Each structure stands twice: as C-alpha cells, then as structure tokens.
Amino acid sequence: MNNEKESMRCRRRAVLLFLLGVVLWALHMASISYFPFISTVLMIAAYSSVCVGGVFLRSYHIRRAGVQGEQISESLLRELPAEYEVLSGVCLDVKGKRCEIDHLVISTRGIVIVETKNYSGMISGNEEDGEWIKIKKSKKGNVYRKIIRNPLYQLRREIYILSRFLHDHDCHCHIDGFVYMLQAECLVENEAIISDADTLLKKVQHSGRAHTLREKQVQEIKKMFCGLRSAE
C-alpha cells in the first residue's frame, strides 16, 4: 500500500542521510587543520544531514506503525463470514477530492469503511474538536503530549467522497464507518470509535440494512473498487 511504500522511502532516505553525515564528518576532521573554512562548512553540512535524517527516521517509525495497524485490522476483518468482501487501500478521486480508505467491507447490507489508528497512550478531546490530545507516559515516568487530528473528520470525509463516487456510478446503498483504535485508550465518546476487536466485527455485521444489495451487485462493486486499490 502507499503507506508502506512511503515508510520504506523514508527509511532509505534516513539511512542515506546518516551515511552522508558520517562521510561529511570524516572530511571535516581530515581538513580541520589545513582548510579551516571548508572544514566548518563540512561540519555544518554533516550536522544538517544527520538532523534531516532524524526527521525521516521519525517519519518512518510513524508510518510503519500505521502500516502494522492496517495489517492487523485487515487480518481481523478477514474473520468475517465469507459473504463479507474486504478490500484494503482503496484510493478515490472525485472531482479533485481525494482519499485513501484503509478498509472497505462490502456485503448485501451495504458498505462499511474502517479507518485504523495505531496510536498508543491516552487520547482526549471532544468529538467535534478539530484536534485531540494524545498523552503518553514513558517508562521513566515522563509525560508527553501531542496534538493529533480528529479521525472522525477523516472518516466523515471518506464517507462523503465514497457516497459521491457511488452516486456518479449510479450505485445507491447504505454507507457506514468506524474508527478502530488499536492500542490507545480513547476518552472521546462516539459510536463510531471502537477499541475492541469483537465489538468491531459485531458492528460491521449489524451495519446497514439486510438485502440492501444483491449478491451480484456486491461482486460488481468489488470489481469496481479492485482497480482503485493502492499498489501493495
């Protein structure tokens, strides 16, 4: 998927920048006695290279956690009965509005979006707030706070884009969505936020209305979305 490709790209860039920093530092040390000005430039370049490499390394770890979370969610959704079709990494573009949906579950009851968030720590906020606060405590007892975007906004946007996409393809069915929190303790109360695996499976199976779609329509929708999946 795109997230996995991006995470590996960040990792490669981090490694290359760290190696470049080592080479530049070696050149700095070799020239310090003979070319002071050039040596200073090399030292600054080495420091900058390592700092930028650190940014890419952090980005790699964040993206990698997201990829692992999506893989766990996909494995879980595969436990649904055979009549539920599961697609991951579906990319949509409707009149310039784009999104990549983590997971789509298609059945005769309609379509369900599952957006996975592999956070750790405790999350607080209000369901209508644009930003939430993630609080994490280290093993040494240090408390860290980080601002994260409200995933409900992302989910609502994906539902809207998906509904417009289906409308443009003359397909009308029930669309529901959930945010699956893998590790974090989420204090935000909303029916769309789920932290328990069994609850997620039950919610997905009870979403929509029975016989909203015929089995033939389910397969047609699946085929349509298969061509829109990000490269794995």
Q: Among 45-54, 66-75, 194-203, whose mean pLDDT is lowest?
A: 66-75
Mean pLDDT of 188-201: 92
Question: In terms of pLDDT, which residue wins out, 136 or 201?
Answer: 201
Q: Distance (Å, rounded) from C-alpha 157 to C-alpha 153?
A: 6
Predicted confidence band of residue 61 (pLDDT cuts 50, 70, 90): low
What pLDDT was estimated at residue 44?
Answer: 92
Q: Distance (Å, rounded) from C-alpha 151 to C-alpha 116?
A: 9
What pLDDT was estimated at residue 150?
Answer: 94
Q: How many domains does the chain have?
A: 2
Does the residue 171 lie in any domain?
A: yes
Query: Last residue of some domain: 70, 104, 130?
Result: 70
Does the residue 231 lie in any domain?
A: no
Do 107 and 188 fall into the same domain? yes
Does the residue 232 lie in any domain?
A: no
Q: Which residues pair with 176 in a beta bridge?
A: 112
Do 176 and 200 fall into the same domain? yes
Per-residue pLDDT tens for 131-150? 999 988 877 778 888 898 99
Domain membership of residue 114 as a residue range: 78-226
Does the residue 198 lie in any domain?
A: yes
pLDDT at 163 over 90: yes
What pLDDT was estimated at residue 165?
Answer: 93
Do 50 and 109 fall into the same domain? no
Q: Among 5-19, 50-64, 78-92, 145-159, whose mean pLDDT is lowest?
A: 50-64
Query: Last residue of some domain: 45, 70, 95?
Result: 70
Do 213 and 106 fall into the same domain? yes
Average confidence score pLDDT of the chain: 87
Question: In terms of pLDDT, which residue wins out, 183 or 169?
Answer: 169
Q: Which residues pair with 112 in a beta bridge?
A: 105, 176
Contact 194, 178 (CB under 8 A): yes
Integer Rg of the chain from CA: 23
Do 184 and 212 fall into the same domain? yes
pLDDT at 164 over 90: yes
Contact 223, 161 (CB under 8 A): no
Q: Which two tokens stand for residue 150?
A: 């409200």
Per-residue pLDDT tens for 67-123? 777 888 999 999 999 999 999 989 999 988 999 999 999 999 999 999 999 888 889
Do 57 and 82 fall into the same domain? no
Query: Last residue of some domain: 48, 70, 92?
Result: 70
> The whole model's pTM is what?
0.76
Do 220 and 127 fall into the same domain? yes
Do 62 and 82 fall into the same domain? no
Does the residue 172 lie in any domain?
A: yes
Do 120 and 216 fall into the same domain? yes
Do 63 and 82 fall into the same domain? no
pLDDT at 27 over 80: yes
Do 140 and 197 fall into the same domain? yes
Does the residue 120 lie in any domain?
A: yes
Do 109 and 217 fall into the same domain? yes
